[in-house]
Amino acid sequence: MNSRWAALAAAGFLQTAGPPRWQAAVEIPRVEVAEYHRPYVALWLEKPDGTFVANLAVWYDIRPKKGQGEDGSTWLKDLRSWWRKSGRELALPADGISGPTRAPGRHTAPVSPGALPPGEYVLVAEAARELGGREVLRAPLRWDGRQIEGGRAQGKTELGVVEISVMKDK
Amino acid sequence: MTFTQKFTLFLAAAALFPLSPLWAHRMWILPSSTVLSGSEAWITVDAAVSNTLFVFEHRPLRLEGLSILGPGGSRPAPQNLHTGQFRSSFDLKLNTPGTYRISLADSSVMASWKENGEVKRWRGSPDQMAAHVPAGAPELQITRMSSRVETYVTLGKPSREALAPAGAGLEIIPVTHPTDLAAGEEAVFALLMEGKPAAGIELTAVQGAGRHVDKPFEQKFSSGPDGRVRLSFPAPGYYWLQAAAGDAAPGRGGSRATCVLVLEVLPQ
């Protein structure tokens, strides 16, 4: 896309209600184990070369569990890729990103990548579960300023389908 | 030279260079974690000498030369120090976000000379030598040895103050931050001798694969004209880097410096 197009597209957003909202959908598989803990999950965007772009969500034990003085931030390092790319730089909980852990099932969340210039990106999802495993999914996508092409991946162990789409106007 | 003579010479040399990579086992310190999150965290650290990395099977590494440099130049104190049959260990509480450097440094002098036709030997710290070794004694040979064994741990956001060179002996200073190492990515290290870039120094990298891997990754590198070594770790895990420099040899004295750096490499 040429830069004039991009400028026009960006201007279009400014005239309406800011950048379009995206919606992330994350499927957390049901795991049959005696002791189940909900996974910590992080969602973020990278450039195809691995450069970090923006956080979309991080779900962890955002409040101390009963009888424990500390929240779950001690274990955020187990989201190893995310912690290295971005987590360690953040003051947590972070507005619009942090949320509590989710139960098995499909969850959707509005995410705000900001005014992202059109281009190639990679949606990354990382999940880490206590007494369980860790899984990282990468879903390349193309963002033309209005639509997302791609941005969907199927996990094998700790994640089901992960996808990102532009929220439809109501 | 008969076999017995050769063997005696070998034993003498082995006694003379107990820390030299020529004969020595590998020295290491291993932190329980290198990357931590939360507002504070504990780690525990083991220190040992062994062939298989990182398995306790030979001797503990003594903790006399232990020093810890924390963020902002702090000097947090190790706790629960213990030395057992195979390993030493201690705990460390990280109270401040940033990177901590854990070092075990040692320097010693070995001297031998003739006195009334008899061979005399002495080993001790460099500042004690003048009191024990007669200067200008016949056949005086002096071997100076320095060793440094280090690792880094980070709570929260990494910082770089603790990576500053100590400026003494041989050092492996991470240029790529030690908390940023990932499998398959290039990492850069600077080899320094007395604080200055040291070219042409050999560095060996070995994967800490335990005793259940037939052939752990092991590779030798040589520092370039700028004293730097670039390498890429093939798989996640703990790694042992050792650099050695010096001209010490059995029977003629000299100096020998070694530096070990233990690193954790993360998965992508």
Is A89 part of the contact surface with chain B (CB cutoff 8 Å)? yes
Residues of B in contact with A83 (CB under 8 A): 35, 37
In a domain, B114, yes or no: no
Report ipTM (2 d.p.): 0.80
Strand B141-155 to B254-265 pairing: parallel
Please state, in angstroms and rounded to a whole number, the distance separating the CA atoms of residues B165 and B173. Answer: 7
Is B178 part of the contact surface with chain A (CB cutoff 8 Å)? no
pLDDT 10s per residue in chain A (170 long)?
445 545 544 444 444 556 678 899 999 999 999 999 999 999 999 999 999 999 999 999 988 776 666 788 999 999 999 999 999 999 888 888 899 999 999 999 888 777 889 999 999 999 999 999 999 999 999 999 889 999 999 999 999 999 999 987 65
CATH number of the domain to which B86 belongs: 2.60.40.10
Cβ within 8 Å of B, A 111-170: 136
In a domain, B2, yes or no: no
Tell me whether residues A70 and B38 touch, CB distance under 8 A: yes
In a domain, B241, yes or no: yes
Residues of B in contact with A70 (CB under 8 A): 38-39
Tell me whether residues A88 and B158 touch, CB distance under 8 A: yes
Q: Domains of chain A: which residue ranges?
A: 36-158
Q: Structural domain of residue B252, as residue ranges? A: 18-106+147-265
SS3 string, B110-162, reads: EEEEEECCEEEEEEECHHHHHHHCCCCCCCCEEEEEEEEEEEEEEECCCCCHH
Query: What is the DSSP-derived secondary structure letter of residue B21?
Result: T
In a domain, B124, yes or no: no
- By CB neighbour count within 10 A (0-12 exposed, 13-18 middle, 19+ buried), where does B251 fall? exposed
What is the tally of structural domains in chain B?
1
In a domain, B1, yes or no: no
